[in-house]
Amino acid sequence: MSKIIIAIDGYSSSGKSTMARDLAKRIGYVYVDSGAMYRAVTLYAIEHGMASTDKGMDTGKLIKALPEIEISFRPAGEDGIQHTLLNGVDVERRIREMDVSNLVSPVAVIPEVRKHLTSLQQQYGKERGIVMDGRDICTTVFPDAEMKVFVNASPEERARRRVLELVQKGADVNYEDVLKNIRERDHIDTTRKESPLKRADDAHLLDNDKMTIAEQMDWLLNLYKKITGSENRD
Ligand code: DC
C-alpha cells in the first residue's frame, strides 16, 4: 500500500506528540506537531504586544499579522527532536514555556488563525506519508485520513507527566498550577465553537492512562500494519 495519512488527536499532555513523533520515525514518515504551530503564532502575538495575561488579546491586529508569520520545521538533529522555527528563529524551547501555554488556547479559538493553520497543515499532507497530531486533525484537517487515533488519559495523570517533563527541563513548576492549566485548556479546547476537540466517529480510541510508551508504540504499529497490510521497517 502506498503511504497514508495518520491523524492523532487528543487532550493536552496526553503524550500524543511523543507517540506521533516516535511512530513517524519508526515507519519513515514525516512528523508535524500542529500544536507547535498554534504555539508559534501565540509567541509571535506575545512578542509583538498582541497578547498578554493582563491586557488580553488584540485579535484584529493578530489576524492582520498572520501573513507575516512564517512557521517551518527543522528536521530532528542530535537531540532527536524536530525544532519549530518562527520566521527563521528556533523557538522550540520558548514555545513550551508557561506564558505561551497559558495564552495558546485563546489564540487557537480565533477562526482566522485556525483557517490559516489548517490550510498550511493540509499542504504538508499533500505528499502523504505524514503523521500529524493535534486537536482537530481527524475531524477537520484530514477527515479522510486512513488511520485516525484519539488519545486520552485522566487530567491528573497528564499533569503528573507534564510536571516530570518540565522539571527534567529545569523548569520551576508545581503540580496544582499544571493541573489547573490542563483543566482550563481541556475546557477551552472541547467547548470552543470552531473545530472543538472531539473524537471523530471513525477514530480508534487509545486510553493510555496505564500504558507504557513501549506498549503504546506496539498498539500503534499493530493498527498501522492492520490498515496498510504492511510490516514495519525493523
Ligand atoms: O498539543 P499542544 O498542547 O502543544 O497544543 C497547544 C494548543 O494548541 C492547545 O491548547 C490547543 C491548540 N491546538 C488546536 O487548537 N488545534 C490543533 N490541531 C493543535 C493544537
Indicate if ligand 1 lies below 6 Å from the C-beta of 109. no
Indicate if ligand 1 lies below 6 Å from the C-beta of 38. yes
Average pLDDT over residues 53-81: 89
Indicate if ligand 1 lies below 6 Å from the C-beta of 208. no
For ligand 1, the distance from its centroid to the CA atom of residue 115, given in whole angstroms, is: 14
CB contact set of 173 (below 8 Å; sequence gap of 6+): 98, 163, 166, 167
Q: Hey, what amino acid is at 208?
A: N
pLDDT for 185-216, tens place per residue? 899 889 988 888 999 999 999 999 889 989 99
CB contact set of 226 (below 8 Å; sequence gap of 6+): none
Q: Coil, strand, or helix at residue 148?
A: strand
Q: Which residue, 174, 33, 151, is CA-closest to 98?
A: 174
pTM for this predicted structure: 0.90
Residue nearest to atom 2 of ligand 1 (CA): 35
For residues 24-50, one letter each, b for 16 or more C-beta atoms within 10 angstroms of the residue's C-beta and e for the rest, the string is: bebbebbbbbbbbbbbbbbbbbbeeeb
Residue nearest to atom 5 of ligand 1 (CA): 35
CB contact set of 75 (below 8 Å; sequence gap of 6+): 82
For ligand 1, the distance from its centroid to the CA atom of residue 104, given in whole angstroms, is: 7
Q: Coil, strand, or helix at residue 159?
A: helix
pLDDT for 15-60, tens place per residue? 899 899 999 999 999 999 999 999 999 999 999 999 998 888 999 9
pLDDT for 76-92, tens place per residue? 777 777 899 999 999 99
